[in-house]
A and B are shown apart, each in its own frame.
Chain A
Amino acid sequence: MRGFLDWIMDPKRRGAMLIAPAIILLFVMNIFPLMWSFGLSFFHYKASSMKPPSFAGLYYYEKVLSDPVVWERFQTTALIVSLSVLVQMIFGFALALLFSKKFPLRREIMMLVLTPMMLSFVAVGVFFKLFYEPTFGLVGQAFKYITGETLILLSTKWGAIAGIVIADAWMWTPFVMLLVLAGLVSVPDYLYEAAEVDRATKWERFKTVTFPYVKGLLLLALLFRTIETFKLFDVVYIITAGGPGTSTETIAVYVYRMAFQFFKTSQSSALSYILLFVVIVLTNLYLYFVNQREQET
């Protein structure tokens, strides 16, 4: 026993031993399933049946890519992504401009504004589902109080999309704000003063001095939020579960249903990898811009 301890605590392998548990956990929970599911996407396999998998080649990729439903889901996702990211960018920028000024209780209010970002997706989903609830929800009641009518927001396609976009944008606007704010506070005051001495108008000062400092970060925020929103699942699943009908079913929700409701394991794996590919492309775009920005500064 003594010998084994000495052997294992030898400086040569001590480091490896100490990180081994984490590596093993990572492998079992992350890397192995990733590779396993990648393998499965090339086989006929249903997780709900006892039949052993048989090789299918690129059959499921073909099937997924030629499936009109997949394209519909992509469109739904794109719609929600662009609306939500747009709202986040606009409000994030506006909030950043607000918080770059000094005013009483600025820190405290900023803490409050940042809170949504730190909540769990599930919590946000549940919040908004309850807000939208027609009879006792906050939004429903307010609507009834003002107009006298009952609002069943999630019963229409656009209402449901709006509901999701609002929830997601509420959660992630602070993130955009933080990034933009970092840019805004990095603008030296003397540049504004110089521009003012040069007789620039407020708009000119914004265009020439402020915007260039924020541009790069704004682009990063855009890409970051696009990538993240593209994978949006929890909030959608909780608020609308893809409904009404399939009108808010994002690609991530679709993958989930395909895998765990219809047990089309191979097909959902294939679709997941296509999704991963899209995200990798976006991520590389993101990294490219990060590098660009580093070279600029």
Chain B
Amino acid sequence: MSALKVTGLIKHFGDVKAVDGLDLDVEKGEFFALLGPSASGKTTSFRTICGIEAPDSGSIFLDGQDMTNSPMRDRGVAMVFQTFALYPHLSIRENLEFPLLQMKLGKAEISKRVGETAELLKLSHTLDRKPGTASGGEQQRIAIGRALIRHPELLLLDEPLTNLDAKLRHDTRAEFKRIHRERGITIIYATPDELEALTLGDRIGVLKDGKMVQVGTPDELYEAPDNTYVAGMVGSPRINLIDATRKGTDANPEIAAPFGDYSGGSWMQALKDFPIGEQLIFGIRPHEIVPVENRADFQGPTFDAEVHMTEPLGDVVILDLIANQSRLKMVLPEEQATAYQVGMKMTCGFDVGSTQLFAKETGTVIR
């Protein structure tokens, strides 16, 4: 059963199409990541789902019930705001108690839940202070606590880590996973950061211009993106997208990339439908490119390249290559990368089976 089902949701602000026909189906107990750059409609979707904004059209079902026009009070949705939105004049304890007081719970239950939540989020020592005196990480946890304490059926997290520093972001990410596992609630998590989406989401929905572009598990999105947008969004460093052309014969298609002609990928069959000369985009993940010592020993296709730049990232190094005027990235473990210096010539190889092919005009995948 789906905890949240959104169909054809539209919300425009004047000429701005913030949400433009969004479909979304989130299973009960799922950790769903909503991935999209800023202004792709994440926040507006959330605001419409929890009822702050009324949609222009479309419907919202919570637990199978049509809640499109229901007041916020009836929705059972909790949301953590990007700004945290803590009540500055209430103590941290009162901030946590606030939603419970609105639910008219008894004193004993309230203090029990505050204790539990404070424990869970390591806030017990700060309860009597004002949120203004708390650190960024603490404020963030208070905001989460205030949402969790209601035991909501659905929790919306709107870019909750953007205001934190890198280390805290890492720790809190782990915290989210733990809370989700322990509480078993449904979480929808909006983020512009693919790493957050990939590590947290059971499934990821990729948003573009207020529309859902693709929904899938992290593996599905990584290995079989539906279009160049998703391919570029998921995976770091970014996938190499290289202009190519359809060639070969009708029965035996090939593609011509700047550094070689290839055939044999999972796209072979579908490529037959495209005319010769069609503009394509050839996608190779940086991780799939390997250095080749001896061409004769390597199974797949190879190409020659020159090292243009190196970006050491600690345990791995990103090599920027130029192969026949086309730029590509590859990733090597640090100890292997030391052999390659800027300006050096090298031979690279990859497995055609792991490559992606897209139509240039529409950006959609060919497979």
Contact = CB atoms under 8 A, between A and B. Distances in A.
Interface stretch (A46-54, A58-66, A125-133, A200-208): A200-208
Contacts of A198: 78, 98-99, 102, 146, 150
A8 interface: no
Interface residues of B, number: 24
Interface in A195-252: 195-201, 204, 208-209, 212-213
Given A199-B72, A208-B90, A193 B85 contact: yes
Contacts of B88: 212
Given A204-B102, A208-B98, A197 B87 contact: no
A190 B83 contact: yes
Contacts, number: 52
Given A208-B98, A212-B89, A197 B103 contact: no
A200 B102 contact: yes
B52 interface: yes
Interface hub of A188, A195, A201 (most chain B Cβ within 10 A): A195
A279 B78 CA distance: 51
A74 B102 CA distance: 47
A190 B88 CA distance: 12
Interface in B31-61: 47, 50-52
Given A199-B102, A200-B98, A208-B98, A193 B146 contact: no
Contacts of B78: 197-198
A270 B51 CA distance: 66
Contacts of A194: 79, 81, 85-87
Nearest to B72: A196
Could you tell me the dominant secondary structure of chain A's interface residues? helix
B73 interface: yes
A196 B71 CA distance: 10
A69 interface: no
B22 interface: no
Contact of B87 (A193, A196, A199, A208): A208
Contacts of A201: 102
A196 B357 CA distance: 47
Interface string A85-100: 0000000000000000
Contacts of B101: 204
B148 interface: no
Given A199-B72, A209-B87, A212-B89, A193 B81 contact: yes
Interface residues of A, number: 17
B271 interface: no
B77 interface: yes
A190 B89 contact: no
Interface hub of A190, A193, A195, A204 (most chain B Cβ within 10 A): A193
A191 interface: yes
A191 B50 contact: no
Given A190-B81, A191-B85, A191-B87, A197 B50 contact: yes
Contact of A197 (B52, B89, B90): B52
A208 B103 CA distance: 15
Contacts of B81: 190, 193-194
Contacts of A191: 85, 87
A194 B85 CA distance: 6
Contacts of A190: 81, 83, 85
B140 to A, nearest CB: 14
A293 to B, nearest CB: 12
A199 B73 contact: yes
Contacts of B73: 199
Nearest to A198: B99
Interface hub of B51, B81, B101, B102 (most chain A Cβ within 10 A): B102
Contact of B103 (A199, A209, A213): A199
Contacts of B50: 197
A197 B98 contact: no
Contacts of A195: 87, 98
Interface of B: 47, 50-52, 72-73, 77-79, 81, 83, 85-90, 98-99, 101-103, 146, 150
Given A198-B102, A199-B103, A213-B89, 15 more contacts: A188-B83, A188-B85, A190-B85, A191-B85, A191-B87, A193-B47, A194-B81, A196-B52, A197-B51, A197-B52, A198-B78, A198-B146, A199-B72, A199-B73, A209-B87
8 contacts: A188-B83, A188-B85, A193-B81, A197-B77, A199-B103, A200-B98, A208-B89, A208-B90
